[in-house]
């Protein structure tokens, strides 16, 4: 095990698929601790003890997709649908700036329409005065739409593949969802000049450890410079909820291993410690940082809107103000020897542009 970790630390992409899988299947507590400590040391090699921060604004929960695991899926009639106005978004962006965050994530349901495209363009142009590093997470679009949003001011785009296994993907989505198209969108984003991000879920029903190993290799194959992974957390109003039979502790350990091994394989990419980790354990986000993550994304959406944007049950921070969340995050990271980078936008070292 020590030799395998040493091999991974020497240079990126230095592990075979079998070796990636082996690191993901460690069961010994001491071995897992060494794995995560090594990943954190590698994170510090590239980023020091600084953690990049992006405030998240949840633009709306209207979605044209019907993914079998998602709480805001089109067929869920129990969701109170909303979309923020451009003035509301600007006000929340001002909160992001007041908190000292230099980056912002605009996240919402997947909608493909000219009206939505123009709306996002208008939002980006309105927010240009803040000089944020803006990440969009708005799903599959045409290459032309991606280019229009890039020209309007977006710098990054997160499009999670959820699983690199095409057959497993088909079990998580209706036939209208095309895995190949989603992959093509990632290549389109690269061609448009985005800092492209993707990610997967671990602990999915029917998923194997080989699938997870292939997920990590997939990140490199599509040229991702940002990784947003998390555990699969069911929502009771979805078809897959009844298949969710993995314990919270098992999900957390597997998700942390994915962060650690991804860091050891890819080295200098941005890896987020996601909110979903905090749904499994109060210190889950901090444990993600201890496993090698270097990005956190607190919610700056108005508290009054957060309960309507629940992709999974048990989402944390629904009633916590943005100021309180910032204070708690600063304190909890300080306890583990890390601090928020309030000076930069936290662009990926692999990015070829600003």
* Cα 80 from Cα 116, distance rounded (Å): 19
Question: Closest by alpha carbon to 203, among 236, 243, 171, 166?
Answer: 243
Mean pLDDT along residues 245-251: 95
Question: Residue 353: is its pLDDT beyond 60?
Answer: no
For residues 18 and 209, is the Cβ–Cβ distance under 8 A?
Answer: no
Mean pLDDT along residues 102-106: 98
Residue 251 structure tokens? 């999900």
Integer CA distances (angstroms), 85 to 90, 105, 294, in order: 9, 16, 31
Long-range contacts of 20-23 (CB under 8 A, 24+ apart): 20/213, 20/216, 20/217, 20/261, 20/265, 21/209, 21/210, 21/212, 21/213, 23/257, 23/260, 23/261, 23/264
- CA 265 to chain CA centroid, Å, is 18
Residue 216 structure tokens? 């990590």
**pLDDT for the residue 351:** 76
Given CATH 3.20.20.70, say whether it is the number of domain 14-340: yes
State the CB neighbour count (10 A cutoff) for residue 167.
Answer: 10
pLDDT tens sequence across 82-96 = 999 999 999 999 999
Q: Give the confidence band of 129 by pLDDT, cuts at 50, 70, 90.
A: very high
Question: Residue 69: is its pLDDT beyond 90?
Answer: yes
Integer CA distances (angstroms), 228 to 200, 274, 276, in order: 7, 7, 11
Nearest 5°: CA angle at 158, between 155 and 162? 170
Q: Rounded mean pLDDT of the chain?
A: 96
Mean pLDDT along residues 56-85: 97
**pLDDT for the residue 132:** 97
Q: What are phi and psi of 249, to 5 degrees?
A: -65, -40
* Cα 235 from Cα 135, distance rounded (Å): 26
* Cα 140 from Cα 183, distance rounded (Å): 10
* Cα 196 from Cα 216, distance rounded (Å): 15
- At 46, which helix (H) or strand (E)? helix 29-47
Mean pLDDT along residues 228-257: 95
For residues 104 and 135, is the Cβ–Cβ distance under 8 A?
Answer: yes
Q: What percent of the chain has pLDDT over 70?
A: 99
Q: Give the confidence band of 307 by pLDDT, cuts at 50, 70, 90.
A: very high
For residues 277 and 44, is the Cβ–Cβ distance under 8 A?
Answer: no
Report which listed range, 125-134, 237-246, 345-354, is most confident.
125-134
Which DSSP state fits 347? Answer: -
Question: Closest by alpha carbon to 63, among 166, 215, 173?
Answer: 173
Start-to-end CA distance of the chain, whole Å, equals 39
**pLDDT for the residue 348:** 87
Q: Give the confidence band of 352 by pLDDT, cuts at 50, 70, 90.
A: low
Say which residue the tokens 């994304």 belong to: 297
Mean pLDDT along residues 12-30: 97
- At 197, which helix (H) or strand (E)? strand 195-198
Long-range contacts of 6-15 (CB under 8 A, 24+ apart): 8/38, 8/264, 8/265, 9/38, 9/41, 9/42, 9/264, 11/267, 12/265, 12/266, 12/267, 12/268, 13/220, 13/265, 13/266, 14/265, 15/264, 15/265
Using a cut of 0.75, tell me whether the model's pTM lies above it: yes
* Cα 120 from Cα 165, distance rounded (Å): 31
Question: Residue 101: is its pLDDT beyond 90?
Answer: yes
Residue 342 structure tokens? 């309030």
């Amino acid at each position: 095990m020590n030799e395998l970790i040493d091999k991974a630390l020497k240079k990126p992409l230095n592990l075979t698929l079998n070796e990636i899988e082996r690191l993901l299947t460690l069961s010994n507590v001491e071995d897992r601790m060494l794995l995560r400590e090594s990943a954190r040391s590698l994170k510090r090699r590239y980023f020091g003890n600084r953690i990049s921060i992006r405030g998240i604004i949840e633009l709306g929960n209207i979605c044209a997709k019907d993914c079998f695991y998602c709480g805001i899926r089109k067929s869920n009639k129990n969701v109170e649908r909303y979309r923020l106005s451009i003035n509301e978004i600007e006000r929340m962006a001002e909160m992001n700036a007041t908190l000292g965050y230099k980056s912002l994530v605009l996240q919402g349901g997947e909608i493909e329409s000219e009206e939505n495209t123009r709306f996002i363009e208008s939002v980006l142009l309105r927010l240009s005065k803040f000089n944020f590093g803006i990440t969009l997470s708005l799903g599959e679009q045409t290459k032309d739409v991606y280019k229009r949003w890039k020209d309007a001011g977006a710098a990054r785009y997160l499009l999670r593949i959820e699983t690199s296994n095409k057959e497993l993907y088909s079990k998580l989505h209706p036939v209208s969802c095309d895995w190949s198209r989603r992959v093509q969108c990632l290549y389109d984003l690269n061609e448009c000049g985005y800092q492209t991000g993707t990610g997967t879920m671990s602990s999915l029903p029917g998923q194997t450890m080989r699938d997870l190993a292939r997920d990590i290799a997939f990140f490199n194959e599509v040229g991702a410079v940002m990784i947003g992974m998390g555990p699969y957390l069911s929502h009771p109003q979805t078809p897959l909820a009844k298949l969710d039979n993995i314990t919270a502790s098992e999900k957390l350990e597997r998700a942390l291993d994915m962060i650690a091994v991804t860091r050891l394989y890819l080295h200098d990419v941005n890896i987020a410690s996601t909110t979903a980790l905090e749904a499994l354990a109060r210190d889950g986000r901090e444990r993600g940082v201890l496993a090698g993550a270097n990005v956190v994304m607190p919610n700056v959406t108005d508290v009054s809107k957060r309960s309507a944007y629940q992709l999974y049950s048990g989402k944390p921070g629904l009633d916590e103000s943005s100021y309180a969340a910032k204070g708690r995050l600063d304190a909890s990271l300080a306890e583990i020897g890390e601090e928020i980078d309030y000076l930069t936008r936290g662009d990926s070292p692999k990015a070829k542009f600003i």
